[in-house]
Copies of this chain bind each other. A is one copy, B any other.
Amino acid sequence: MSDTPDSAVHAYTERHRAAFLDDLAEWLRIPSVSAQPEHEGDVRRSAEWLSAKLKETGFPVAEVWETDGAPAVFAEWPSDDPAAPTVLVYGHHDVQPAAREDGWSTEPFEPVIRDGRMYGRGAADDKGQVFFHTLGVRAHLAATGRTTPAVHLKLVVEGEEESGSPHFRALVEQHADRLAADAVIVSDTGMWNETTPTVCTGMRGLAECEIELHGPEQDIHSGSFGGAVPNPATEVARLVAALHDTDGRVAVPGFYDGVAELTATERALFAELPFDEDTWLRTARSGAASGEAGYSTLERIWARPTAEVNGIGGGYQGAGSKTIIPSSARVKISFRLVAGQDPDHVQQAVQAWAEARVPAGIGHRITFLPATRPCLTPLDHPALRAVARAMGRAFGQKILFTREGGSGPAADLQDVLGAPVLFLGISVPSDGWHAPDEKVELGLLFKGVETAAHLWSEMAAALR
């Protein structure tokens, strides 16, 4: 199948290890915190740094793309094989805020190598994972003797992922022609753990709403009026209580329309993972697992749609008491969606469900935020098999399959470009995304390089 001897890739990677780490450290020193206005210039500097580095790597095209927010980076390296498929890699160059006093052992923007790990903000999320593609493509060329990649290779690296990617979809729509691809590789996720390499096959979608209920025109006295007019705080609670049935299923009529049910194969694959519920509960900082009847915890968070209250509020919330019937109350609910669900349909279903439950004397306002579609790659998709084979060659291990419970801009790429989204992530849960002492395991980082090096030949073969 492959024309790249695995040992050649490994040798090339080892040879360039020190320079690669020096470069990554240089990038990590740029505090490209998209959420903090004082770092606006750093985010731009990070984009310019990456663009220059990609040119140095050999990408004939490397550009900084402006958005209405922070800039993104686009790069392209066409294959000399005109029949080669096109693959687009996605990542982001902005990072979460970080300060020494948050609990970091060393300065977050002064990366250090300690015990086989590189510590620094962005080491895993996501600069390290973007960066393994630079050495990866060079190892691919060196080991295959090619002068151009086996696929038409494109990269898009956005600068606002940590701020919710507010301009990413518009960017993708604006540049849809140049971003067009047969497959998208997202390198912004992780694997099961240090010893269990896995490929993520999908993420859940997201529909978010706020429901505000209005009762009396102002707070009124609960002694004078209590018991005789509807209370919007009570009504908002009744809505929330009606969200689920006693089996933990979402009780909004039509919510499950189109849901892709788990196949026996998928359930078997989930069950292969070394999952320990007690460990998971400690990660969830929760005292008990609960949810939709008939599903395991992994199935619940990866493959089932959910409704969660993110916030609820109304009336007096200070110390002591205030005997009022509040004028209004509101709840923020987010729905995680799985393959087969249409966010528009879910929004309509939620709106109809809520409106039908609001009693006389209570006004309502229901607002939806922009939704994110779910994405799921079928287990037998050739591109997914290619990712798993590339990873298997790098790790020398059987590759298992996971999903992500969260939602991300990957869905915008799938949506706008109409291409399947694959995930190649080598981060592990202990890497401390968004936390102090974020790090990347150097062993895994170079497995990422090697996976990326094998990937383009595998993809070319799979998608030809």
Give A contacts to B, CB under 8 Å: 204, 206, 208, 210, 215-218, 220-231, 233-234, 236-244, 281, 284-292, 297, 300-301, 304-306, 308-317, 320-326, 329-332, 334, 336, 359-363, 369, 404-407
Q: Is the CB of A406 within 8 A of B221?
A: yes
Q: Which B residue's beta carbon lies closest to that of A203? A: B223
State whether A216 and B284 are in contact (beta carbons under 8 Å apart), knowing that A234-B240, A240-B238 are contacts in the complex. Answer: yes
Query: Nearest chain B CB to A151's CB is how many angstroms away?
Result: 30
Q: Is the CB of B300 within 8 A of A310?
A: no
The 4 closest A-B pairs by CB, nearest first: A288-B361, A223-B406, A241-B241, A227-B306
Chain B residues in 8 Å Cβ range of A281? 229
Q: Which B residue's beta carbon lies closest to that of A287? A: B361
> What are 11 A-to-B residue pairs whose CB atoms are below 8 Å?
A220-B285, A222-B308, A223-B404, A225-B286, A227-B405, A228-B284, A234-B244, A236-B237, A241-B242, A311-B316, A313-B313
Q: Is the CB of B229 within 8 A of A290?
A: yes
Q: Is the CB of A308 within 8 A of B325?
A: yes
Q: Which B residue's beta carbon lies closest to that of A234? A: B309
Chain B residues in 8 Å Cβ range of A290? 228-230, 359-361
Q: Is the CB of B310 within 8 A of A222?
A: yes
Chain B residues in 8 Å Cβ range of A326? 309-311
Q: Which B residue's beta carbon lies closest to that of A335? A: B226
Q: Which B residue's beta carbon lies closest to that of A316? A: B311
Q: Is the CB of A233 within 8 A of B240?
A: yes
B223, B334, B362: the one contacting A336 at CB < 8 Å is: B223
B300, B311, B325: the one contacting A317 at CB < 8 Å is: B311
Chain B residues in 8 Å Cβ range of A226? 301, 306, 308, 334, 336, 405
Q: Is the CB of A310 within 8 A of B321?
A: yes
Please indicate which of the listed interface residues A218, A224, A233, A289 has the most CB atoms of chain B within 10 Å of its own CB: A233
Q: Is the CB of A229 within 8 A of B405?
A: no
- Give the docked Cα–Cα distance between A24 and B253 (Å): 65
Q: Is the CB of A228 within 8 A of B312?
A: no
Query: Nearest chain B CB to A282's CB is how many angstroms away?
Result: 10
Query: Nearest chain B CB to A125's CB is how many angstroms away?
Result: 13
Known pairs A234-B244, A286-B361 / 16 extra A-B pairs, C-beta < 8 Å:
A208-B323, A217-B286, A226-B306, A227-B291, A228-B289, A228-B297, A228-B300, A231-B309, A233-B311, A233-B331, A237-B312, A287-B363, A288-B359, A310-B325, A312-B315, A313-B317
State whether A312 and B223 are in contact (beta carbons under 8 Å apart), knowing that A238-B240, A241-B238, A320-B369 are contacts in the complex. Answer: no
Query: Nearest chain B CB to A453's CB is how many angstroms away?
Result: 30
Q: Which B residue's beta carbon lies closest to that of A324? A: B310
